[in-house]
Amino acid sequence: MRSIKKIQTGSFLRKAIFTFLLISGTTIVSFGQCPDPNNPDCGDVDPGGPGVPLDGGVSLLIAGGISYVAIKMRKQQLKKKATEQSVEK
């Protein structure tokens, strides 16, 4: 019984460390842009420049998420139906 808890705790710890490193790594990268466009050290920064286009990529992510959930729900329904049929026999 102790070995099972030890394995689960180790797995949780690895996942927590990986998540922490992933989040801290992305926040370090996000500081790459110059916060002050008037600073001459920032280079050629256009404060009124075009924004980030979020329309195409976000819609594809939403569509992918919806299809993923639909597939998982369908598999779960089929599994439940098969279990019910095997219990009836």
Give the residue ranges of DSSP H helices in the chain.
Answer: 2-30, 55-88
Number of domains into which the chain is organized: 1
Structure tokens given for 35: 């916060």
Give residue-wise pLDDT tens across range 13-32.
888 899 898 888 776 655 55
9 falls within a domain: yes
Percent of the chain whose predicted confidence (pLDDT) is above 90: 19
**Which one is predicted more confidently, 61 or 5?**
61
Q: Is the pLDDT of residue 35 over 60?
A: yes
Assess if residue 68 is contained within a domain: no
Residue 84: is its pLDDT beyond 70?
A: yes
The 8-class DSSP code of residue 44 comes to S
Cα angle, residue 59 at apex, residues 54 and 62 outer, rounded to 5° = 125
What the block records as the tokens of 16 is 């927590």
Whole-model pTM: value is 0.40
On whether residue 65 sits in a domain, the answer given is no
Query: Can you give the pLDDT at residue 2?
Result: 53
- Residue 83 located in a structural domain: no
Joined together, the tokens standing for residue 69 give: 């959930």
Range of the domain at 23: 1-30
Q: Is residue 84 part of a domain?
A: no
